[in-house]
Amino acid sequence: MAVGVPLLQRKTGHVVKAELLAADEIDFEAQHAQWSQWMGCYKGRGDQGDAHWIWRSLLEDERKFSGSTTCYALRANGFYQGLMITGVAEQANLAAGPSEQLLYINYLASAPWNRSDFRTYRKKQPPVKIGGVGLFFILYAIQLSGQQGMSGRVGLHALAGAIDFYVRACHFTFIGEKAIRPDPPYPWLELPAVSAAYLSNAAKEA
């Protein structure tokens, strides 16, 4: 796979070419080592909600529900800049018919140093901040949804701190608390087809 993706380095303003990697191309041990040392370096020094996620384990667990579950990663400057796991189709709430489905994003996260509230008090310099990682993955999910006949519709559960990003930057609609499988209810957000088309067109014109 290893598709080239242009992303912006925040500090320098330069464009860097990232690689989009499929699950079998991801070095999960390297990713965990890179991220874990910077988790907790945030405003107020608090942990992020995904601080204890082990991505290989998450992928293996989700594949027990569906063999079509897979993982994607963006790697640039030698660092893993973000990961996304997508799973089986789920019922869409914001659709014209009761049979219409959406692509479910099981997990999505940007690297610790790429987040808006990242603050480090360490003497060691963190990796260069890369912008647009989360948005890229949403646009890629829209593309996958379209390829699977779901008209770009996407749905996900969000950690509380990420809801504003999905609503404000990605035009998701907050539905409420919703449970999937045996998991407890979490904030559920959906991107209907019309919003997916708008976001995709806006990204092409940017």
Mean pLDDT computed over every residue of the chain: 90
Question: With 80 as the cut, is the pLDDT of residue 206 above it?
Answer: no
| Residue 46 pLDDT class (50, 70, 90 cuts) | low
The model's pLDDT over 3-33, given as tens digits with 9 standing for 90+, comes to: 788 898 887 888 999 999 999 999 999 999 9
pTM: 0.93
The model's pLDDT over 47-80, given as tens digits with 9 standing for 90+, comes to: 678 889 999 999 999 999 888 899 999 999 999 9
* Residue among 64, 68, 134, 133 at smallest CA distance from 104: 68
The model's pLDDT over 69-117, given as tens digits with 9 standing for 90+, comes to: 999 999 999 999 999 999 888 889 887 676 799 999 999 999 999 988 8
Three-class HEC string of 45-108: HCCCCCCCCCHHHHHHHHHCCCCCCEEEEEEECCEEEEEEEEEEEEECCCCCCCCCEEEEEEEE
The model's pLDDT over 157-184, given as tens digits with 9 standing for 90+, comes to: 998 889 999 999 999 999 999 887 777 8
Residue found by looking up tokens 């400057």 in the block: 77
What confidence score (pLDDT) does residue 94 get?
Answer: 87
Domains, in order of start, for the chain: 3-205 (3.40.630.30)
What confidence score (pLDDT) does residue 44 get?
Answer: 60
Residue 103 near residue 155, CB atoms below 8 Å:
yes
What confidence score (pLDDT) does residue 72 get?
Answer: 98
Mean pLDDT of 181-199: 90
What confidence score (pLDDT) does residue 48 get?
Answer: 73
What confidence score (pLDDT) does residue 116 get?
Answer: 84
Question: With 90 as the cut, is the pLDDT of residue 138 above it?
Answer: yes
